[in-house]
Amino acid sequence: MKLNLGNCFIWILVAVFQRGAGCPTGFLSHGTDCYHFSHDMETWIGALQMCRELDSYLVEINDPAENEFIKTMAKQRNTMYWLALSDVREEGTWIWMDSHTPLVAKNFSDWNSGEPDNLHKNENCAAMYRVGHHGSWSWSDMACSTNLHYICELKAGNTELVG
């Protein structure tokens, strides 16, 4: 069998770029991070755990560019997603769960108008949410027991190749 080095090189390039900047299979690359947009639904606590199972963490949105990326993906998939933001420890004090950073410290949020509203005194977890049928996407507080899709995040290059 004759080996065509040109074709081998092309296949290697395809494999590298499909994987995406050091992201594991099933994760998309954006900036310096990798994101897994789930196909299954979990409660907020379940989403935290599922991301840990994937050696990642539930998404923390750090700036407007990352927020726009998440919004775009949510809109394309027409799916609401859990964020790692909660005020479960103290009502009204929103904290990013992985970094333990208060929301106010990041100087960025994207709450929908009137949110967070703690409807029925039972909404302590945040989600990227579609506002209305043709509305925009922004953050809303929701009951943590709601089943939603979730986004896991990790730094690109934080993966080990085995085998």
Which pLDDT does position 158 carry in this prediction? 55
For residues 87 and 10, what is the distance between their CA atoms, to the nearest angstrom?
Answer: 49
Residue 1 within any structural domain of the chain = no
The C-alpha atoms of residue 37 and residue 56 are separated, in whole angstroms, by 12
The pLDDT score that the predictor gives to residue 21 is 56
| Mean pLDDT in residue range 57-62 | 96
Q: What was the pLDDT predicted at 156?
A: 87
Residue 148: Cβ-neighbour burial (10 angstroms; 0-12, 13-18, 19+): buried
Q: What is the pLDDT of residues 63-74, one digit of tens each?
A: 999 999 999 999
Q: What are the structure tokens assigned to 52, written together?
A: 């840990």
Helices H / strands E in the chain, number of each: 3, 9
Give the CATH number of the domain where residue 103 resides: 3.10.100.10
Residue 147 domain flag: yes
The tokens of 63 are what? 């700036």
pTM: 0.82
In a 3-state reduction of DSSP, which class is residue 160?
coil
For range 54-59, the mean pLDDT: 97
Per the domain annotation, does 138 fall within a domain?
Answer: yes
Is pLDDT at 163 greater than 60 in this prediction? Answer: no
DSSP 133: S
The answer as to whether 102 is a domain residue is yes
Q: Write the pLDDT tens digit of every residue in 103-138.
A: 998 889 999 999 999 998 999 999 999 987 767 899
Tell me if 38 is assigned to some domain: yes
- Beta strand 81-86 with 149-155 is parallel
Residue found by looking up tokens 């755990």 in the block: 49
> Could you report the per-residue pLDDT of 5-48, keeping only the tens digit for each?
444 333 333 334 444 458 999 999 999 999 999 999 999 999 99
82 lies in a domain? yes
CA distances in angstroms from 38 to 24, 35, 77, 149, listed in the order given: 14, 9, 11, 6
pLDDT recorded at residue 15? 39
- What's the average model confidence in pLDDT over 147-152? 98
Q: Report phi then psi at 65, rounded to 5.
A: -65, -45
Does residue 160 lie within any of the structural domains?
no
6, part of any domain: no
If one counts the domains in the chain, the total is 1
**What domain range includes position 145?**
20-155
SS3 81: strand
> Which residue is listed with tokens 């507080």?
141
